[in-house]
Amino acid sequence: MKIAFLIHNVYGIGGTNRTTLNLAAALADRHQVEIVSVFRSHDKAVFTPDPRVRVTALLDVRPGGPDREHPLRAEASRCFPRHEARFRQYSALTDRRVREYCAATDADVLVGTRPGLIAYLARFGAGRIRIGQEHLARDHHKGALRAEMYPYLAAMDAFVAVSAADAEAYRAALPRLAPRIHHIANGVPAPPPPPDGGVPRENLIVAAGRLASGKDYGLLIDAFARLAPHHPRWRLEIFGEGPEREHLERRIARRRMAGRAVLRGPVPDLAPEWARASIAASASRRESFGMTLVEAMRSGVPAVSTDCDYGPREIIRDGKDGLLVPVGDAAAMAAALRSLIENPERRALMAAAALAESARFDPANLAAEYEELIGGLAPSTRRVPEHEELPVVDAGTEPDGTVVLRLRHGAPPGAGGIDPAAEGAPLLVCSARQDRTLRVPLVPDADGTVRTAPDEAFAPGLWDVHLHPGGGDMPLPVRPGRLESAPPPHGWVGDLRRPVRLVRPGLEGGSGRLYLRSWNFPLSPEVEEVRAEGRKLVLLGRLVGPGPVPDGAPVPVLRLRGGRGREFTGSGSWTGERAFRLVVPCRGFAAGLAADAAKGGKGGARVWDLHLRLGGSDGETIRPRSVLAHAPEGRALPGVAGFEARARQRIDVKRRLAVALGRRRPAAKGRGAGAVVLRVEPYRTEAGDVAVTVRPR
């Protein structure tokens, strides 16, 4: 049969490329295999593919390549998951090329090697066996991506995780898909036999991987620094590149380990380095698998690794072919390394065991597992529909807070209509984005309408809405039709002393899909109106929730987003039963912008988040919200949408702002010495909090 692997960029470096090429080479013994690289960034691949494996590139983005400046690359993808880490690299052109490939290929099996590519196969690969591969543990993905991937995973005929623990995590989170979730490890071939019997082992500890915070190479350097004075002939070499390089170089210098602990940079082939090493080490705080550990063990090198969430504990048999130590414990890492350094006989026994035990990761063994898996599958016609084909749900809220969802039916094909009276009742399922195990099933009535109260079933946060069609096992995301939230009368006439539970429907930008946002706050300052009074921003509202009004006047606190603690305060007062009036002087915005410019800021718009201090100078500070009287799609606050204010400051403040804005001298004359003209725009964030955008003119 023909098996095609869809991969991001096989011409670059990375663990997914290595393991895919290893598996492809093993499968090529008995099958026709193709690597389909979405991008081609270089003339030659870093890792040389087996000559029996065909490599096809869909976009040539090399310097001077025909697709590098293609106009469709400027258009965002409509099919690649918006929350995928590589989203910005994908475009309307990648959508087109992958669609065209899937339509033309004669492959029997299509394998997607990352979440976005699984989504592509879910859309375009129906009619062939489709397998989704995941090389990153589920818990390491953001909740938004996990939620977004649900229907795409449901379209797969099988889904493969690289560790047994990760496969179990997927089964627990997606019980409907559990029978299709499998575990097959990554494969690593045995290294070629060294010429002339090889080189003798050195007194050398080797680690390899991306120089990123999750690998915690700093802890490994600290551990080595503890034992280095007692073992002057031993060295530590770390291979790889990444954002932590400078930090690690400084750490080596502080520990006075220069020449003893060395960052060697990336290499395309680690086999010669493992041949020199006596111990392999990994200090990762988290791993999905642990390819470098397997590579070391296949070279007969015992490994010392942290016992992180996934991977190492399924590779190393603690005390037999390596050692596991607690995550984040430099002393334990140093003790484990010392035990092997000081006991050559134990090290040799573990090295022999590592060589023998790691044979289970040979690509031929794992290719056989894939063959067995594929043999039990049949191609399905499941596919994730195009956006225009998704079912449509009208959503809104009633004055008492009840959420109303209404399925459209009787619509023409392709218009998103469904028939609630069809065989097998459809079901709307709301799933918490932060925890997919939290679900609220909703059964529509004969008219396709659901009414649900914003009760404790809806934990605070975002909830994705999916439709489970009658008789089907693949949930479908839904797109909103009308969004109509009926706000309560101005000022919130309910019991001001009750806890606030609120659920509002909304339209997610980019994906165009329906979601619900739930709030649950026991005490909340609710901003009901904003005004401009001269050079001041005035906010009116009420304190909603249980408990008495705190002693002392409420104090507004404006904090510059990303400003490293920069803030200023205004004044406030209680004006009636739980009602407050907050006054924010615009000169505070000007002073904050000037201070930012003096420290190298680039000028332009800045966002200030509103906080409210209750109970005096030592009181609690909480975020005011504006959610009780708003339609879900609105960001403007009731009252003034924006205004200009002339804030007077010292002349040097104005000059600093002028420099930050790229001007040689202060802006327009005649506005008074030291006057800074600001555009002030209060707004409601996506989460319902109150913020202010300020732009100097």
Q: What is the pTM of this model?
A: 0.67
Task: Over range 176-182, report the average pLDDT.
Answer: 92
Identify the CA nearest to 447 among candidates 394, 507, 506. Answer: 394
The correct CATH number of 2-183 out of 3.30.70.270, 3.30.60.50, 3.40.50.2000, 2.60.120.380 is 3.40.50.2000
The more confident residue out of 587 and 338 is 338
Please, which pLDDT band fits residue 499 given cuts at 50, 70 and 90?
A: low
The rounded distance, in Å, linking the Cα atoms of 313 and 210 is 20
Q: Is the pLDDT of residue 96 over 90?
A: yes
Residue located via tokens 């009731």: 638
Q: How far is CA 603 from CA 433, 610, 672, 685, 696, in A?
A: 36, 21, 21, 22, 8
The more confident residue out of 493 and 226 is 226
286, two tokens: 């988290």
User: What does the buried/exposed string (b/e) look like for 291-326 if buried means 16 or more CB atoms within 10 Å of the residue's CB?
Assistant: bbbbbbbbbbbbbbbbbbbbbbbbbbeeeebbbbbe
The more confident residue out of 253 and 176 is 253
Residue located via tokens 């006991």: 343
Q: What is residue 472's predicted lDDT score, i.e. its pLDDT?
A: 52
The rounded distance, in Å, linking the Cα atoms of 337 and 329 is 13
Please, which pLDDT band fits residue 631 given cuts at 50, 70 and 90?
A: very low
Q: Is the pLDDT of residue 594 over 70?
A: no
Please, which pLDDT band fits residue 601 given cuts at 50, 70 and 90?
A: low
Q: What is residue 195's predicted lDDT score, i.e. its pLDDT?
A: 66
Q: What is residue 168's predicted lDDT score, i.e. its pLDDT?
A: 94
47 and 17 Cβ atoms separated by less than 8 Å: yes
Please, which pLDDT band fits residue 74 given cuts at 50, 70 and 90?
A: very high
Task: Over range 502-530, report the average pLDDT.
Answer: 79
Q: How far is CA 555 from CA 372, 535, 591, 645, in A?
A: 67, 18, 19, 21
Residue 386, classified by CB atoms within 10 Å of its CB into exposed (0-12), middle (13-18) or buried (19+), is exposed
Task: Tell me the pLDDT tens digit for each residue of 619-628.
Answer: 788 888 887 6
Q: What is residue 120's predicted lDDT score, i.e. its pLDDT?
A: 97
Q: What single-letter amino acid sits at 200?
A: P
Q: Which residue intervals of the chain bear CATH 3.40.50.2000?
A: 2-183, 201-360
| Measured CA angle at 473 (ends 467, 474), to 5 deg | 55
Task: Over range 55-75, report the average pLDDT.
Answer: 95
Q: What is residue 632's predicted lDDT score, i.e. its pLDDT?
A: 46
User: Which of 23-37, 132-146, 449-463, 558-572 bottoms out in mean pLDDT, i.e. has the lowest?
Assistant: 449-463
Virtual torsion, Cα 300, 301, 307, 312, nearest 10 deg: -40
Q: Is the pLDDT of residue 263 over 80?
A: yes
Which residues make Cβ contacts (< 8 Å) with residue 110, sequence separation at least 6? 4, 6, 102, 121, 125, 128, 129, 130, 131
Write the class of the CATH domain 201-360: alpha beta
If you average pLDDT over every residue of the chain, what do you get?
84
Q: Is the pLDDT of residue 382 over 80?
A: no
Identify the CA nearest to 611 among candidates 681, 694, 539. Answer: 539
Residue 184, classified by CB atoms within 10 Å of its CB into exposed (0-12), middle (13-18) or buried (19+), is buried
Q: What is residue 491's predicted lDDT score, i.e. its pLDDT?
A: 39
Task: Over range 644-649, report the average pLDDT.
Answer: 62
Please, which pLDDT band fits residue 666 given cuts at 50, 70 and 90?
A: very low
User: Which of 120-124, 324-328, 566-570, 663-667 bottoms out in mean pLDDT, i.e. has the lowest?
Assistant: 663-667
Other CB atoms within a 10 A radius of the CB of residue 483 amount to: 18
Q: Is the pLDDT of residue 598 over 90?
A: no
26 and 361 Cβ atoms separated by less than 8 Å: no
